Structure 1
Amino acid sequence: MPVVEKIGRRSCVPIIYTRGTHYEVGFDVGRTFSGLIQNFLATYDLLNKEYLPLYETEAGRKAYQETLDCVRQNFPQYVKELQGTADGAKVPFHKLFLLHMDEILPNTTARKSNPNPNGCSTVCCNYPEKEFLGHTEDALAEILNNIYFVSAHIIADSPQGRWKVTEEKFTSLCYAGHLPGFTMSYNHHGLVYSVNIIKAKTLASGKTPRHFLTRALLAGENFARAQQILRDAGCGAGDGVSINMTFLRQEGDRLFHNAELAPAAGPGAAESVLSVLTASPHEHMFHANKYLRLKVPEVGGAIVTSSDRRQAAFMKFPVPRSKEDIEAILGDQSDREFSIFREESDDDYVKTVAVGIFDCVARTWSIYTGNPKTSEPVVVLPIQLKTESR
């Protein structure tokens, strides 16, 4: 059985620039990062020890197929993109799709939930000339060093999917083999966002996995469309998630929004449950991996405890008013068991695989592979927006 390479934390995040159809972009991503994708699939325990065995059962195959059918109906372009990634990387499509179903399969077939504290922390700072969205990308240890940027320009011959999208241009930090949009990203309309998973207790197959809703956000032109995408009326989400976002081109004052999303609830439900909190000027907010407003049953256990402890650590800081303040918060390790920046030893089950800070005034995106309190960003990317003439 392959094991995770003991190569330490690398100061490296590769990037691909690609243009084409959804399939072509996916193929180029798969071909370019085939080594990372193949290594990740070989060493990812949840896939090999839980998702694939369930996929081989009658109930598992049924849940897989009805979820795939749902996504094909509403977002066929992203299924083609994922197929391109599978083909380019020379890996089976069903393994990649199982990554995108994530905990839907064990939850709906084996009534099993994973309480492990794999999640992220996000802080938004909204003060005059100090407008930041900072995010720790926390994931299971196998993800460490298996990440890359995708900077893509997709132009379709005809409107694609339920939102009739003809053009997408974005840059997104991606886990190996995953569609863009699930971690932290921006698009050429000026949408900047990060993602926190939330583990609702009851999930649903035959609904839209959060991975596909966050992928669809990369085409969002404004806040109204972003909410429409997340509500997913007519189908609804299959699992829970929290989105932290702002639009760099919005009129008036800077606003940051946190959207908590829960699975479509109850028999026949066909729309996600959504709650939005807005941070106006002279405000800030923090979000981890539990519902703060929606009254939705959660898995509980370590992920909720971790979220509470990270929230408590955040509350001890002064009001964040600078990039240095954001770095201090996201690099905090004062809680030795459930720190905001996660890495105490090589054997930690969950690690912070990257930290990102979006500067909404300078329009830059700084990415750190180490603790931002003690390391420099490995890259500072300009946020490039669509010109008015296009």
Structure 2
Amino acid sequence: MERRNSIPIIYARGNHYEVGYDVGRTFASLIQKFLEICSTLNEEFIPAYNTPAGKKAYEDTLRSVKDNFPQYVRELEGTADGAQVPFYKLFLLHLDRITTVAAEIENKILPVGCSTICLNQDEQEILGHTEDAISENLNLYYFVSAHIIADKPQGKWGITEEKFTSLCYPGHLPGYTMSYNHHGLIVSINTLSATFVRAGKTPRHFLTRALLSAENFSQAVQILKDPGCGAGDGCSVNLKFVKENDRLFYNIEIGPVVGDDMSQLNMALASPGENLIHCNRYLRLSIPEESGPMRDSSDARLKVLKKYTKPLKKSDVIEMLSDQTDSKYTVFQDTNIKTIAVGIFDCREKTWSIYSDKAKENEPLIVLPLVFKE
């Protein structure tokens, strides 16, 4: 498909169900279209769900999430109702490989993106990110800018208010791509594919959704640790609290829980004068990973990015995230896997620039101000 220079946005306020419903109602055509054409859903997740083992993994995980994060289940139910689509299909998207592994169905289609650079230099503090997805996602994404107000504390962390803006895939909860919240959090996510995943634990999509409520770094870490349950699968979280004065960027690798009802975490940080680069491999946690294009692509992209002279400014990050020099696995991807958007958070200017095409050759489609709580 031809790339469109268009990203729709919804501004919504209400409780979790109401915001989810308005997202679903507003983007019903995009959500319905995506469910129709999504190969992983229709060729892998639904067949897995229709097996006894896959259905049990689904039910065990849904029960766990309802216990710990009922407000986000209601939010997703609202999206399903608003879009007039079955809830189970949306929840399967959030389980990813959890049902297919349980059903022993081979995942032929694995994610192979994204790439993130955190630059922490004297005059520049930048988080740059390529949002990579299967080609079916091209032109099928939108912004959700939400102010959620609950009448009583919600879920295991007692949340009463959330205010954030997030780039979203159709029918997905906010939080799993690029986002910021009114407490000063900026964040991007890299998918990681551990060989083992856990049913009955918290899917990564729900952990990153919960992350949008974090008021400070210690809260963010506690949310990702998820004590008492732990992650069912893995990802890498790149974050910074812009309002804090420590000037630190963090990369947090998250692994599925092993034995102690808490996510495996490993943190790296970039102090002033340092940078961080992360793709889609575990660089520090010793966790077995799925082989194939995802590992190969991540290794190739990381190798290319590390060949560059140390980036010192925003234009260096844009150059690196536009790289297509590798013969097979490029940083800016445009084959069956596509970079559907590029985001540049500028912590000094307090802006978030979004590009729908290669950043070094195009102007940003939109530059959003980062609006924080006083």
- Aligned-residue offset at 1:73: 0.3
| Structure-1 separation of matches of 2:68 and 2:111 | 31
Query: What residue is the counterpart of 1:322 in the other structure?
Result: 313
Q: Of the candidates 363, 366, 370, which is equivalent to residue 379 of structure 1?
A: 366
- Secondary structure of 1:261's partner? strand
- Report if aligned partners of 1:113, 1:201 keep a CA contact under 8 Å in 2: no
C-alpha spacing 1:117/1:179, structure 2 compared with 1 (3 Å): closer
- Aligned-residue offset at 1:111: 5.7
Q: Within 5 Å, which residues of 2 pair with 1:45-124? A: 45-110=39-104, 112-114=106-108, 116-124=110-118
Q: Of the candidates 347, 356, 364, which is equivalent to residue 360 of structure 1?
A: 347
Q: Within 5 Å, which residues of 2 pair with 1:324-363? A: 324-343=315-334, 348-363=335-350
- Report if aligned partners of 2:4, 2:356 keep a CA contact under 8 Å in 1: yes
Q: Of the candidates 241, 249, 253, which is equivalent to residue 256 of structure 1?
A: 249
Indicate whether 1:22 and 2:16 are aligned.
Answer: yes
Query: What residue is the counterpart of 1:42 in the other structure?
Result: 36
Amino acid at match of 1:270: D
Query: What residue is the counterpart of 2:132 in the other structure?
Result: 138
- Secondary structure of 2:113's partner? coil
Question: What do residues 318-346 of structure 1 show as CA deviations (whole Å, max 9, x unaligned)?
Answer: 11111111110110001131100001xxx
Which moved further from structure 2: 200-209 or 52-61? 52-61
Q: Within 5 Å, which residues of 2 pair with 1:273-312? A: 273-312=264-303
Q: Within 5 Å, which residues of 2 pair with 1:181-192? A: 181-192=175-186
- Report if aligned partners of 1:264, 1:273 keep a CA contact under 8 Å in 2: yes
| Structure-2 separation of matches of 1:131 and 1:214 | 23
- Report if aligned partners of 1:189, 1:386 keep a CA contact under 8 Å in 2: yes
Give the aligned CA root-mean-square deviation in angstroms. Answer: 1.0
| Structure-1 separation of matches of 2:217 and 2:108 | 32
Query: What residue is the counterpart of 1:157 in the other structure?
Result: 151
- Report if aligned partners of 1:136, 1:356 keep a CA contact under 8 Å in 2: yes
Amino acid at match of 1:123: I
| Structure-2 separation of matches of 1:85 and 1:9 | 26
- Secondary structure of 1:202's partner? coil
Question: What do residues 350-385 of structure 1 show as CA deviations (whole Å, max 9, x unaligned)?
Answer: 110100000000000000000001111100000000
- Report if aligned partners of 2:44, 2:105 keep a CA contact under 8 Å in 1: no
Amino acid at match of 2:256: P
Amino acid at match of 1:340: V
Question: What do residues 121-160 of structure 1 show as CA deviations (whole Å, max 9, x unaligned)?
Answer: 0000001120000000001111111100000000100000
- Secondary structure of 2:99's partner? helix
- Secondary structure of 2:360's partner? coil
- Secondary structure of 1:373's partner? helix
Amino acid at match of 1:43: I
| Structure-2 separation of matches of 1:189 and 1:38 | 33
Q: Within 5 Å, which residues of 2 pair with 1:189-204? A: 189-204=183-198
- Report if aligned partners of 2:111, 2:191 keep a CA contact under 8 Å in 1: no
- Percent identity between the two aligned chains: 56
| Structure-1 separation of matches of 2:178 and 2:21 | 22
Which contiguous aligned blocks of 4+ residues in structure 1 show a shift greater than 4 angstroms?
none
- Secondary structure of 1:305's partner? helix
Indicate whether 1:246 and 2:237 are aligned.
Answer: no
- Secondary structure of 2:359's partner? coil
Amino acid at match of 2:328: E
- Aligned-residue offset at 1:282: 0.2
Query: What residue is the counterpart of 2:165 in the other structure?
Result: 171
Unaligned runs of 5+ in 1: 1-5
Query: What residue is the counterpart of 1:215 in the other structure?
Result: 209
Amino acid at match of 2:310: V
| Structure-2 separation of matches of 1:169 and 1:75 | 17
Amino acid at match of 1:219: S
Alignment coverage as a number of residue pairs: 374
- Aligned-residue offset at 1:49: 1.1
- Report if aligned partners of 1:263, 1:272 keep a CA contact under 8 Å in 2: yes
Which moved further from structure 2: 201-210 or 107-116? 107-116
- Report if aligned partners of 1:115, 1:300 keep a CA contact under 8 Å in 2: no
